[in-house]
Amino acid sequence: MNDDRLLIDTQGGVMTLTLHRPDKLNAIDNGLARALLAAIAVAEADPAVRVLLLRGAGRAFCAGRDVSAPPTEDDLVLVQAVSQALVALPKPVVAAVHGWTVGAGLEWMLNADIVVAAEGTRFKLPEASLGVFVTGGLSATLPAYAGVARAKGLMLLGEPFSAAQAQAWGLVWQVVPDEALAAEAQRTSERLAQLDPAVAGRFKRVLNQIGLASFGQAIEAENAAQRALQG
């Protein structure tokens, strides 16, 4: 599972996964997605891991899919698999975001259970302007958190928005000064790690069953839409 595109550290019940392609603003390639999938599987199997903390190295959380090459079927399968694994993981997932949080990076952020954002974070969904479809179950998560009308505007217009807007629209739990992000995300993760794992897992499962009941359907519809656009 060793891959320098993903840094892994486990302490005090918290497994921290750091996206580590800082020269590419942590843009997602297949190697990074595979490393994440493997790490999530380890976190699920290890009873000592109670919380997953996802963050990015360098100047950004994640700039979305690496667009240096055209999208492929493998890209679609892997990015969707990461989203499904994050949502299905029976342990809380915290995302700590900063800098640009774009496209599939924003989609993975919304697959987390609690999001802590730095004040300077900038968000964007550019897929429509690029002629590709959204992934990550975003067609379920974004309307669930922000409402259908706002989801349509954010997806179709692709305009950037701020951390303050993201919080006002229900996309993030907390906004903190940039310099406080790491400490606050760690504190939140450690608080979650103190919960009874059975209790935390049941809360996550039931809330997702009710609040994101259409998540699986959204993944299937996104796959079909993406393949149609690529075809």
Active site residue ranges: 107, 127
User: Tokens 């979650």 belong to which residue?
Assistant: 192
Instruction: Tokens for 11, please give them.
Output: 């302490």
Instruction: Tokens for 170, please give them.
Output: 């229900």
How much helix, strand and coil, in percent to the nearest 5, is found in the chain?
A: 50, 20, 30
CA distance 193 to 185: 12
Residue 194 exposed, middle or buried by CB count within 10 Å (0-12, 13-18, 19+)? exposed
Query: How many Cβ atoms from other residues are within 10 Å of residue 102's Cβ?
Result: 25
Strands (E), the chain: 6-11, 14-19, 51-56, 93-97, 100-102, 114-118, 122-124, 161-162, 174-176
Q: Does residue 5 contact residue 19 with C-beta atoms inside 8 Å?
A: yes
For the chain, the distance separating the N- and C-terminal CA atoms, rounded to the nearest angstrom, is: 33
| Half-sphere exposure (Cβ direction) of 230: Cα atoms closer than 13 Å | 15
Which residues on adjacent β-strands are paired with residue 93?
A: 52
